[in-house]
């Protein structure tokens, strides 16, 4: 088997096994990744800050004997601070930021033997369900159809994995930013319980605890292994997640049991969703029934619209904070081309908020968590679509508007398009997007599962059960259907 074919056919753990068996070398896998990057990225615009010489040095110095030794990898261009990999954080204002140390997350990833060689594109400040930041010179596109978005904010990561540049990549999720691109690109995306992964030492939490790191993968087992490698609080963490019930990898072979599954075929506020998304939900519900789970239609009685308004306040204030800090560090005022219109709008909007306004928003988020927790005393899992529509066309959610609240919550805004994912950032619950459906015109459509707070391994076990029953990696459209230069 050629290295190119092996790279196409194996997930991350599969490639690591080939390295361990001496069938391929880390340098050969890196060569393959770099060749694919060179061929594909001009059309996709999913990569930035590539440092192949750094990756070669790490290989030459000797890789740790971890679970992913020798496997090429990419960090999101937002967070995951690393000395060897400067970042733009999706913004011209923050372009080429150099870090004085490594984040705990990157330290743990390095220990697995991964060969990191660059970063993947992100929208400015991580805001939005698409990745079209001006700092990269063009929008990040979906490998399955270049006219459509790969999602956001981990859109570059999803495009790189779906295109076959890497078998998996780092992402992060503050309102669906792992699960939205997973749905958009036909991948598996898992958001763990709040504080399951470390944020330090450069921050204590993101967006009042709603943001968390994660991964875009082809297989459930790759995500499980990455989470096992990275889970647990870092030194000085302000709070910690409940202890795991075993490991994520153990959960893959542990039956989930007969679960009570609530199916919501609409949005969480009862609005209809696109027929392709509704079909995906109905098909997933039937699959869960065949697997022996109790399935019934139900919708949480929770204040979702109030939660989204509070979420917008918190994210708007977070956006204003990083802009202010960046300007203070540079000792100057804001210039016209420093930031994009949505960020400029968030800065102006947040200036009209008070400290009590911010704390009221945090309290509303906490209220929502309690409301949703009540629903999960009756049900073990909530099944919805991941998005209310198939992947949007490029340009639809570009950061052109300075009306931050309208961009988020208006009739044509982000929330009607993505009405599910942010709910579980607010509650802190584990949630995942699974690539179980493809639209008639060949676009991926994800289904979304959420479990009670702290029940990460239960959700992972269910995801593994579904993957085994309907293995998506080898049932996806052929590679020829993806963009080919």
Active site residue ranges: 76, 153, 177
Distances (CA, A) of 250 to 61, 244, 253, 259, 457: 32, 11, 6, 19, 8
CA 273 to chain centre: 22
**Contact by Cβ (8 Å): 282, 265:** yes
361 sits in the region (left: phi over 0; alpha: psi -120 to 50; else beta) called alpha
Contact 116, 82 (CB under 8 A): yes
Residue 300 · residue 383 · CB < 8 Å: no
Residue 457 has, within 13 A of its CA and on its CB side, a CA count of: 18
Distance, in Å, from the CA atom of 142 to the CA atom of 282, rounded to the nearest integer, reads 25
Separation in Å, CA 83 to CA 156, 225, 353: 21, 24, 36
CA torsion through residues 222, 228, 233, 235, sign: negative
User: What per-residue string of b and e applies to 335-364 under the rule 16 or more CB within 10 Å gives b?
Assistant: eeebbbbbbbbbbebbeeeeeeebeebbeb
Structure tokens at 136: 């990269």
Rounded Cα gap, residues 249 and 173, in angstroms: 22
> What letter would DSSP give residue 211?
B
CB 340 within 8 A of CB 134: yes
Q: Which residues pair with 295 in a beta bridge?
A: 261
The per-residue DSSP string of 73-125 comes to EEEESSS--BTTB-B-TT-STTTTB--SS--HHHHHHHTTT-EEEEEE---GG
Q: What is the dihedral of CA 328, 330, 333, 335, to 10 degrees?
A: -140
How buried is residue 297: exposed, middle or buried, by Cβ count under 10 Å (0-12/13-18/19+)?
exposed
What is the C-alpha separation between 12 and 32, in angstroms, rounded? 14
Q: How far apart are CA 152 and CA 77, in angstroms?
A: 12
CB 322 within 8 A of CB 350: no
Q: Which two tokens stand for residue 147?
A: 């006219």
CA distance 23 to 385: 40
């Amino acid at each position: 088997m050629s290295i190119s074919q092996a790279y196409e056919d194996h997930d991350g753990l599969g490639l690591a096994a080939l390295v361990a068996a001496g069938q391929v070398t880390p340098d050969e896998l890196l060569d393959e990744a770099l060749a694919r990057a060179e061929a594909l990225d001009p059309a996709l615009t999913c990569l930035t800050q590539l440092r192949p010489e750094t990756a070669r040095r790490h290989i030459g110095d000797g890789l740790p004997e971890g679970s992913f030794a020798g496997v090429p990898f990419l960090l999101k261009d937002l967070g995951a601070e690393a000395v060897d990999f400067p970042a733009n954080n999706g913004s011209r204002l923050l372009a080429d930021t150099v870090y004085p140390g490594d984040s705990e997350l990157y330290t743990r990833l390095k220990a697995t033997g991964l060969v990191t060689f660059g970063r993947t594109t992100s929208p400015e400040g991580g805001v939005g369900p698409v990745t079209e930041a001006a700092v990269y010179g063009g929008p990040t596109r979906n490998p399955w159809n270049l006219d459509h978005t790969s999602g956001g904010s981990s859109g570059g990561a999803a495009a790189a994995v779906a295109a076959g540049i890497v078998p998996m990549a780092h992402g992060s999720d503050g309102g669906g930013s792992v699960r939205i691109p997973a749905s958009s690109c036909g991948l598996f995306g898992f958001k763990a319980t709040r504080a399951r992964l470390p944020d330090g030492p450069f921050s204590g939490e993101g967006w009042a605890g709603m943001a968390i790191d994660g991964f875009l993968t082809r297989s459930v087992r790759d995500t499980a292994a990455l989470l096992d490698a990275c889970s647990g609080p870092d030194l000085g963490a302000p709070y910690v997640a409940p202890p795991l019930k075993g490991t994520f990898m153990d959960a893959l072979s542990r039956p989930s049991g007969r679960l009570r599954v609530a199916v919501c075929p609409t949005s969480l506020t009862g609005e209809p969703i696109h027929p392709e998304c509704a079909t995906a939900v109905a098909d997933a519900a039937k699959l869960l029934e065949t697997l022996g789970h109790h399935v019934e239609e139900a919708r949480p009685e929770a204040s979702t619209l109030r939660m989204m308004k509070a979420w917008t306040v918190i994210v708007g204030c977070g956006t204003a904070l990083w802009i202010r800090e960046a300007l203070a560090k540079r000792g100057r005022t804001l210039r016209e081309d420093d930031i994009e219109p949505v960020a400029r709008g968030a800065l102006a909007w947040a200036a009209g908020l008070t400290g009590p306004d911010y704390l009221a928003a945090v309290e509303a988020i906490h209220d929502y968590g309690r409301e949703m927790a009540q629903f999960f005393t009756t049900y073990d899992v909530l099944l919805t679509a991941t998005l209310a529509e198939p992947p949007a066309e490029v340009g639809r959610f570009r950061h052109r508007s300075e009306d931050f609240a309208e961009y988020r919550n208006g009739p044509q805004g982000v929330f009607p398009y993505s009405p599910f994912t942010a709910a579980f950032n607010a509650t802190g619950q584990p949630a995942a997007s699974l690539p179980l459906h493809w639209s008639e015109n060949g676009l991926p459509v994800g289904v979304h599962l959420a479990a009670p707070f702290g029940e990460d391994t239960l959700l992972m076990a269910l995801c593994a059960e579904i993957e085994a029953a309907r293995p998506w990696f080898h049932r996806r459209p052929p590679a020829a259907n993806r963009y080919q230069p």
